[in-house]
Amino acid sequence: MFITIGEIISLAIITLVLGYIFADYLSGPRLPWAKPGKRWKDIRFAALIIAPAVIVHELFHKFVGMSFGFPAIVKVFWGGLGLALALKLLSSPLLIIAPAYVVYPAIATPFQSMLIAFAGPFANLLMWIGATLWLKYGKIRRKTALILALTRKINLFLLVFNMIPVPPLDGFHVVKGLFGLF
């Protein structure tokens, strides 16, 4: 099966939580007397920016794993999502987000594992390039330009952050796979 109901539910949960976490960062500070409907609008806008970067990242891991014939399943990383939510609720200036991961069999070779690990950051690279080119050469409205600028920023951040070679980040698995080749 291409994608399971469980994975769709997981991705929906991640989308809602990320929208909530980033709503204040992308829309500015909340005023106590602000309209309740405005909050939902802020969450939707934040989810529109953040969720595709994270979801496409995880789906690239999944699809590359599947291309090797492995069952690859997207899972919510409750600890990482919970930590991000806790940091947001504590108004921390530092935000650490690791909302999901992809499970695939341990029989993957180091080369396969390296490619599966690199697939997520590669997705962020493609989205960063796409947003950059669209901003530079596209005829776009102001709101679209804002969305693309934020898309560029979040995808560049995810690319760089995920390529840090420390566990459990993708960069660690890429370096580990490279060493496994030799």
pLDDT(32) > 70: no
3-state secondary structure 98-118: CCEEEECCCCCCHHHHHHHHH
Q: Which residues pair with 102 in a beta bridge?
A: 74
pLDDT over 90 at 120, yes or no: yes
Residue 19 CA neighbour count, 13 Å, CB half: 18
- Paired tokens of 116: 């599966």
96 Rama class: left (phi>0) / alpha (psi -120 to 50) / beta: beta
Count CB-CB contacts under 10 A for residue 179: 10
Cα–Cα distance between 101 and 91 in angstroms, integer?
A: 25
State the DSSP H helix or E strand holding residue 124, giving kind and residue range, or none if neither. Answer: helix 110-137
61-94 pLDDT, tens digit per residue, is: 999 999 999 999 999 999 999 999 999 999 888 8
Residue-wise pLDDT for 131-162, tens only, equals 999 999 988 898 889 889 999 999 999 999 99
Return d(Cα 67, Cα 99) in angstroms, integer: 23
pLDDT band at 182 (very low <50, low <70, confident <90, very high): confident
What pLDDT is stored for residue 37 in this prediction? 62
